[in-house]
Amino acid sequence: MNRRSLIKGGGIFGLLAAGVAPAIHAQAAIRWRLASSFPKSLDTVFGTSELFAKKVGEMTGGKFQISVHAGGELMPAFSVVDGVQTGSVQMAHSAGYYFYGKDPAFCLGSSVPFGMNARQINAWMYEGNGLKLMREFYARYNIYNLPGGNTGAQMGGWFRKEIKSVADLKGLKFRTNPFAGKVLEPFGLIPQSLPAADLYPALEKGTIDALEWVGPYDDQKLGFNKIAPFYYYPGWWEGGPHVDFYINTKAWDDLSAEYKAVVEAAASHAHVSMLAKYDARNPTALKQLVGSGTKLRPFTHDVMSAAFKSAQQLYADLNNSNPEWKKIYTDYSKFLADQNVWFRFAEGTFDRFMQQQQL
């Protein structure tokens, strides 16, 4: 073999250009970093970004590798929007409602009180205007997004005392997300913000009176049942919280068409798997919690209705003060109203009948 003549003559390059080069180009090695907002202990949610990265690797024969980093590892858990915006990481895995403080419109991409359930937000994202509108909004932050999971309707949380009426909310120090806090503040409740690691000791010491985390599977691992007897439902502020993959727009634009399609499909696969994981694991955890003495309680209709009215007032205020919110919420709320008309017939009636049976 005469290597020099091969190069000099342009032989291999000529051949590659003729037929093979695009294949090699398409399979260029890529390494990305993903910053998650979630701790490793949430194997449900954190596991979703690991599954996503694994699938991208498998589809590309290991040529597109994404390293997944838990919340706090590369940056604070709730700084991942900044990380993606500046390009210090190529992507993140997070939930829009963590960024209520930046702009409440972020929440419409994950969950707002009395919003869509998991199936409804899927429909809005994939087949309504959801992805389109959220992408327009996220573009200001250099973000391109893809669906990245859902928990299903969350629980209302752990309370040391019963909540029998709106009056019982007065003075209650309740750890919850900021949007739920805004809705509950008019009733004299004092919203608290605490990271996962501080929840148990704060509830145990009485620094807070109540908290909500996720649902039976995740909550059981943190042991809240040992220090609070009442477990409320539903978590009306998170009826179907949608989790997102945020991708830096330049990193996204630099991908080949093939790799874009790979990332999109891997995200969808991880997206459907996360909700399935919650639904598969929550029943066992709930049974164990009840078996160990946890008292399940629904929020009363009065509490729910008062919170619903408070939420509608907040949305009216946001429509007046925030044009980005208004643009997205106008579409979101119309879609939600239509969904609830439809879901009360075949879907709702089937579910209610089945839930009444002894199986």
State which of positions 226-285 bind its own copies (CB under 8 A). 233-236, 239, 256-258, 260-262, 264-266, 268-269, 271-273, 275-284
Q: State the minimum distance, in angstroms, from the CB of residue 79 to its own copies.
A: 30
- Using CB under 8 A as the binding rule, the residues of this chain from 58 to 117 that contact its own copies are 58-61, 63, 114, 117
> With binding defined as CB under 8 A, does residue 213 bind its own copies?
no
Q: How far apart are CA 300 and CA 163, in angstroms?
A: 8
Nearer to its own copies, 319 or 333 (CB): 333
DSSP 233-292: E-BTT-SS-EEEEEEEHHHHHTS-HHHHHHHHHHHHHHHHHHHHHHHHHHHHHHHHHHHT
Q: How far apart are CA 191 and CA 155, in angstroms?
A: 17
Q: Where are the extended beta strands (E) located within 89-199?
A: 91-94, 143-150, 157-159, 173-175, 190-192
What count of other Cβ atoms lies within 10 Å of the Cβ of residue 181?
18
Choices 12-20, 32-40, 67-75, 99-107; region in contact with its own copies by CB under 8 A: 12-20
> With binding defined as CB under 8 A, does residue 122 bind its own copies?
yes
Q: State the minimum distance, in angstroms, from the CB of residue 278 to its own copies.
A: 8
Nearer to its own copies, 80 or 108 (CB): 108
Residue 30, SS3 per DSSP: strand
Q: State the minimum distance, in angstroms, from the CB of residue 57 to its own copies.
A: 9
Q: State the minimum distance, in angstroms, from the CB of residue 238 to its own copies.
A: 9
Nearer to its own copies, 205 or 341 (CB): 341
* Identity at 307, one-letter amino acid code: A
Residue 65, SS3 per DSSP: strand
Q: State the minimum distance, in angstroms, from the CB of residue 45 to its own copies.
A: 14
Single out the residue of 205, 291, 293, 355 in contact with its own copies (rule: CB under 8 A): 355
> With binding defined as CB under 8 A, does residue 136 bind its own copies?
no
Structural contact between residues 184 and 313, judged by C-beta atoms closer than 8 angstroms? no
Helices (H) and strands (E) in the chain, counts: 15, 11
Structural contact between residues 257 and 135, judged by C-beta atoms closer than 8 angstroms? no
> With binding defined as CB under 8 A, does residue 123 bind its own copies?
yes
Beta bridge mates, 245: 93, 146
> With binding defined as CB under 8 A, does residue 17 bind its own copies?
no
Beta bridge mates, 295: 230
Nearer to its own copies, 118 or 222 (CB): 118
- Using CB under 8 A as the binding rule, the residues of this chain from 316 to 345 that contact its own copies are 333, 335-345
> With binding defined as CB under 8 A, does residue 127 bind its own copies?
yes
Nearer to its own copies, 106 or 236 (CB): 236
- Using CB under 8 A as the binding rule, the residues of this chain from 139 to 178 that contact its own copies are 147, 152-156
Single out the residue of 5, 18, 205, 293 in contact with its own copies (rule: CB under 8 A): 5
At residue 191, what are phi and psi to the nearest 5 degrees? -65, 140
* Identity at 331, one-letter amino acid code: D
